[in-house]
A and B are shown apart, each in its own frame.
Chain A
Amino acid sequence: MGGLLENVLNAVAAGLIIGCLYGLMCIGLGLIFGIMNVVNFAQGELLMLGMYVSLYLVSGFAAIGFLGPYAAPFVAALIAGPVLFGGGALLHRFLLRHVSGLSTASRLDQGGFGQLIVTLGISLILQNGGLILFGSTPASVRTPLSAKAFIIGPFAGDTMLFLNQARVYACVVAIVIAVALWLVMERTRLGKSLRAAADNPIAATYMGIDVDRAYRIAFGLGSAITAIAGGLMATYLSFTPFVGLDYVIIMYSGVVLGGMGSILGAFWGGLLVGFVQQVSALVLSPQLQNAAIFVVFLLIVGLRPQGLFGRSAERA
């Protein structure tokens, strides 16, 4: 019995920790989706770029090496944010603005299609460009923390809880970033103007908000957040330029579950996906863990088409 309890508790703890990281990752996509109504297939590649930027900052530059193997990976992950913010903003400026937002509102009905192809193309370019630049050897940003665990217990007999330290710290950083972003969106003029542009772009224009710029910032911010999540996840898993493929689906599940357009919702959706994935490991083989995510996904979406936290406005 003790063994079972221990397994369950460990799976729950791992689920919550991984879930927070997934939650952060989903917020990035949720921002882009919620504000611009763009289905971004390249979001997984932004995650991948976050991982590699983080890797090169740690191993390639002495600049942050002095922080030591403990702090450097986390600082690097945070730096990946601004780097990818710039990248995302450029992608929007030169590619996406031509196929999304106000520029397509006047077109008959095909606007949605163009945007899909363009993000698919970006995804292909980044994946394969990554392959050229980074090679296909699995890499990872190792810190000594990956091999250490916080041990809680023993309690209730001999039950012990093992928490991977790298993951715990990554999780804490993820929560801090998520809260910070939430505060930005709720409290600052910038955040409010982004929400206004999402709510009613035409009225936002009447207010003097440059909606195109708002979209560019949203895309940059969404890219940055997912990249930070990537940098954090890089501390505990190994990755290749194709890692985005595995996660883009998870991101979409999380965002749809949370209710598109809601930032908090995206976080909870991601958390739920991570939780289901880890906890299902108790009873399912590894291959079926992801299948379990989709079963839960289809169930929830079937029962509550507007997502767990979404408003039903989109159904009309």
Chain B
Amino acid sequence: MRVGGAARLRRDTVALAIVSVLYVALASLVHNSYYQLILTLVPIWAVVGLGWNLFSGMSGLVSFGHASFFGIGAYTVTLALVYWHLTPWLGIPLGMIIGGIAAVLIGLPTFRLRGHYFALAMLAYPLAMLYVLQYLGFQEIPLPMHREHPALFLQFAQPFYSTLVAMGLFIAAMVAAMLVENSRFGLALLAIKQNELAAEAAGLDTKRWKMLALTASGAISAAAGGLYACVLLVVTPDSVFGVIVSAQALVVTLFGGVATVWGPVIGAAVLIPLAETLNARLGDIVPGIQGVIYGVAIIGIMLAAPEGLFWTLRDRFWRRAPAPEVIEERASSLAVLVKEGTLLEVSGLSKSFGGLRAVQDVCFSVAGGEILGIIGPNGAGKTTLFNLLNGVLPADAGSARFDGRELRGLKVHEVARLGVGRTFQVVRSFPRLSLLDNVIVGGYGAGLGDRAAAAAAEAALEAVGLGDRAARPAGELTNKELRLMELARALAGRPRLLLLDETLAGLGREECDDLLAVLRELRAAGMTIVIIEHTMHAMLRLADRFLVLDHGAVLAEGLPKDVVEDRAVIEAYLGTKFLAQHHNSADLHA
């Protein structure tokens, strides 16, 4: 459990307990077996939604194929009961295991795809399974009756007990989902959703987290499918592998709200009774009318609350900052070992895109404890250089040695783990998470444990002067604070070298000065910094040395005041004609 999530977890646990008690109390009053069935189905679909949300909602990779797992769960339980007389109490866990394995097998090839390709490829799996099952002759399998042992085979005479079992599964899934949401796992997934590249740069092994999420998600959905089979007592390929099931997982979650455990709950609680009641009330009179109304309802809600009911309602009625949290463990300061001599040695680094030579034969070195400013006109290849250094792009030639280790060929998260932190031109934040949570991601990336990561994040926020704002949601921050937060995120990974990409962009004079002060303090604490920046007045006051890039090549290198008087540099920045015009005044300054 991560430290920052404690309060929310407590709150959610209380809410879950209250909701569950009320729900069971309500169910105990219902004697009509049809309504009781609806009450059983609500938690089951909520579980399916929770499973989908755990993967797609949190990681942002949309899956249209969660019916695969639901169906696997349903068929495992059914077939195990038919052939081995295996009780669902064991059949459901077995289904979860098989569902988890299926998730790995599906994930391995499919994670290679991105965006809509991923989503649509996922659609193919349940359909392939559906057709195979039809072919194998498992069209419509009724579950064998074992009325003599109702509790053992979940075949209760009283449908109320089915609701109890479904609630049990629901509570288990909720607790699991809440733990994930408030753990490093959940944060890692959110980080991937926000910006996969930045997450990797913070040291997260995104492939592993995504696979883990899909596996857990598959197992949860399989459990729901297994119980669904026990409740309905018959499975058909269409009812458990059909597109409708995948769609239902999506609809329930999106309707309620993505990336919160309460989303699927709200969605299921509203939509399932709505759909079933419409079915029962109107379905016989005008077949099809229920589908029309249901469709109109989900479109209407989506247009009115595009982010789902939970978020829309919360934003409207609940707009208050979360209570400040107390963290017992005081952080040790950001102790950085100053390494004498050269920390980063880059030689002959080159990269071409098609015909364009974005970085050509760049050589430079950075000494421990130094601030190197990289300047150059737009399009000079500065960001590409950073991308080569931290593994976002593979270099065509050359080498980059960090503390004696070759960086070329390493993955982004591996470079981060060696102690190279990075910020990006565009700040990405999780506006709804607290500042501390935003920063903790950086600590996880460095492989720190929960407490250590929280401590590192605290220390990093302290170091950039945001210590008192740790509990505020990032959405309320000013531009300067966002920049500082991103700096803190990089610091939380306890780097020895910071690569800063336009950290001062878009800041006013005074805001800029504040950030400069922070950076100077970091250097005083022994941090080594390479910074790309356009704001020259700031760079002149910050950097120990300048490296000037133009058209991908090193144009000049040296002390700032020498570099800005360099004719080649002035020419690159202001043009030949400026130089000619200003020949005299340039001499004066020199």
Contacts and interface: CB of A to CB of B under 8 A. Distances in A.
Contact, chains A and B (beta carbon distance below 8 A) = yes
Interface of A: 33, 37, 39, 41, 95, 98-99, 107-114, 116-118, 120-125, 127-132, 136, 241, 245, 248-249, 252-253, 256, 260, 285, 287-291, 294-295, 297-298, 301-302, 305, 314-315
Contact of A294 (B128, B289, B296, B298): B128
8 contacts: A99-B302, A113-B258, A116-B62, A130-B288, A249-B123, A287-B132, A290-B128, A305-B114
B88 to A, nearest CB: 28
B89 interface: no
Contacts of A289: 131
Query: What are the 8 closest A-B residue pairs judged by CB atoms, nearest first?
Result: A128-B291, A131-B288, A124-B295, A125-B295, A128-B288, A121-B299, A291-B131, A287-B135
Given A110-B258, A136-B287, A295-B128, A117 B120 contact: no
B124 interface: yes
B135 A117 contact: no
Interface stretch (B176-184, B247-255, B454-462): B247-255
A125 B292 CA distance: 4
Contacts of B404: none
Given A120-B298, A302-B109, 8 more contacts: A39-B116, A41-B247, A98-B303, A110-B258, A285-B135, A294-B127, A294-B131, A301-B121
B276 interface: no
Contacts of A314: 114-115, 117
B119 interface: yes
A305 B251 contact: no
A117 B251 contact: yes
A252 B299 contact: no
Contacts of B255: 117
Nearest to A245: B243
A114 B290 CA distance: 22
A289 B307 CA distance: 39
B60 interface: yes
Interface of B: 60, 62, 109, 112-117, 119-121, 123-125, 127-128, 131-132, 134-135, 193-194, 243, 247, 250-251, 254-255, 258, 286-292, 294-299, 302-303, 306-307, 431
A132 B292 CA distance: 9
Contact of B289 (A116, A117, A132, A301): A132
A120 B124 contact: no
B290 A128 contact: yes
A297 B131 contact: no
A114 B302 contact: yes
A33 B292 CA distance: 25
B131 A288 contact: yes
A111 B109 CA distance: 27
Contacts of B128: 290-291, 294-295, 298
A108 B79 CA distance: 45
B135 A120 contact: no
Contacts of A37: 116
Report whether over half of chain B's contact residues are helix, strand or loop; otherwise say mixed: helix
A176 to B, nearest CB: 29
Nearest to B195: A109
A117 B124 contact: no
B270 to A, nearest CB: 14
A128 B295 contact: yes
Contacts of B125: 294
A249 B241 CA distance: 14
A124 B127 contact: no
Given A129-B288, A132-B292, A287-B135, A252 B123 contact: yes
A288 B289 CA distance: 34
Contact of A113 (B131, B194, B254, B295): B254
Contacts of B131: 287-291, 294
Contact of A301 (B117, B243, B297): B117
A260 B114 contact: no
A34 to B, nearest CB: 11
B288 to A, nearest CB: 3
A132 B123 CA distance: 28
B113 A118 contact: no
A291 B132 CA distance: 7
Contacts of B295: 120-125, 128
Contacts of B132: 287-288, 291
A39 B62 CA distance: 12
A73 to B, nearest CB: 26
Q: Among the interface residues A113, A136, A248, A305, which one has the most CB atoms of the partner chain B within 10 A?
A: A113
A130 B288 CA distance: 8
A109 B193 contact: yes
Contacts of A128: 288-292, 295
Nearest to A297: B124
Contacts of B135: 285, 287-288, 291
B445 to A, nearest CB: 21
B291 A125 contact: yes
Contact of A131 (B250, B291, B303): B291
Contacts of B115: 314
Contacts of B303: 95, 98-99, 114, 118
Given A108-B431, A117-B251, A260 B116 contact: yes
Contact of B121 (A41, A287, A298): A298
Contacts of A110: 258, 306-307
Nearest to B300: A121
A132 B288 contact: yes
Contacts of B127: 249, 290-291, 294
Contact of A256 (B62, B109, B117, B288): B117
Nearest to A116: B250
